[in-house]
Amino acid sequence: MTETSPQIHSTPSTPSDAQLESVPLTAEHLLTNRRPEPSGGWRRLVWLLSAKKIIPAESAAEIERRTLIAQAQTPVARGHHRIAVMSLKGGVGKTTTTAALGNTLASLRGDRVIAIDANPDRGTLGLKVKSETAATIRTLLAEAPHILRYADARAFTSQSPARLEILASDTDPAVSEAFNAEDYRTVAGLIERYYSICITDCGTGLLHGAMGATLDLADQIVLVSLVAVDGANSAAATLDWLNAHGHADLARNAIVVLNAVEPKTDVDLDLLERHFNTRCRTVIRIPYDPHLKEGAEVDLARLRPTTRGAYLRLAAAAGQAFSLHPDRSH
């Protein structure tokens, strides 16, 4: 008796799960004519000469820029995110960094961004935008019980062309010194209701009244360092202090800004960057810019392209933390 060979039935092969990659069903992926409009250069010239029919492939720089913008536009996980901009040393560009970062984020996002001046001495954040009101953080505190909607809060701020709102401090140092931790918590609670992102321009002292509350409530910090030996040492000392006083997470996830306030320096920037990269999340270099040297209002349109690009990288680095879920128990 001969054995019958088993019948082999061939069935159409089906792709495995690994082969079935999910393709987003968006216009950008499905429509061949939805490449972003070229913003400039030869690509835009080709696009215009072809009656807007030919869109050349993007360069690596343009792809990087789109990626950075997308990171800066990251939605805020819990509806509100606090950034503290710090420096142990004065004159390093901390307030300018606050204004430029805030303007960059506000220009790219659709939600509300505010910068507040928490300097215990006479703060200068109010000088970085055209003044629309004489109100200060102190007058906002006095009217806190009557602030019930966004329009009420807006009456105390000035707004830049990029849509950044600024809550200025008092010009009298004697009055500003009275701004303590409880005051900051009150202001922070009000701001949280109406704004998605709050950037706090801190004072230079680590022990003044409002600093403790600022660090307790901060979701991330931006530590500004001058491109100089003493500035770098001050920034390193600030990280040491944060690690020694219960803020190791903030130090480890900090963004260090190496801010050039002079056109040339003999400081080894690569060495500085390598040092801080071992101690924090990322390092951003801000080049010298004559517009920022003026010390007046910060206008993104007047910055050099390289400077705007540096602040975009800073905004993108900050944006990478927006999707995290911070602990609000403190």
Domain boundary at 58, 81, 104, which? 58
pLDDT at 36 > cutoff 90: no
- pLDDT tens-digit map of 122-148: 778 998 999 999 999 989 999 999 999
pLDDT band at 7 (very low <50, low <70, confident <90, very high): very low
Query: Which residues form the domain of 40?
Result: 27-58
Question: Strand 158-159 and strand 197-201: pairing?
Answer: unpaired
121 and 210: one domain? yes
pLDDT tens digits, one per residue of 180-232:
889 999 999 999 999 999 999 997 777 677 888 999 999 999 999 998 888 89
Residue 99 lies in a domain: yes
Please report whether residue 264 resides in a domain. yes
How confident is the model over 58-75, as pLDDT tens digits?
Answer: 778 888 998 999 999 999
Model pLDDT, residue 150: 97
In the chain, the number of structural domains is 2
| Strand-pair category, 255-259 with 282-286 | parallel
Residues 43 and 94 in one domain: no
Of the pLDDT bands very low, low, confident and very high (cuts 50, 70, 90), residue 242 is: very high
Q: Whose CA is closest to 96, among 319, 318, 287?
A: 287
Tell me, yes or no, whether 46 and 78 share the same domain.
no
For residue 113, pLDDT over 50 is answered with: yes
pLDDT at 31 (0 to 100)? 61
Q: Are residues 225 and 305 in the same domain?
A: yes
**What single-letter amino acid sits at 248?**
A
Confidence of residue 248 (pLDDT cuts 50, 70, 90): very high
Q: CATH no. for residue 236?
A: 3.40.50.300
Does any domain span residue 167? Answer: yes
Does residue 167 share a domain with residue 267? yes
- Amino acid (1-letter code) at residue 193: R
In a domain, 104, yes or no: yes
Contact 167, 157 (CB under 8 A): yes
Q: Quick check: pTM over 0.85?
A: no
User: Is the residue at 12 inside a domain?
Assistant: no
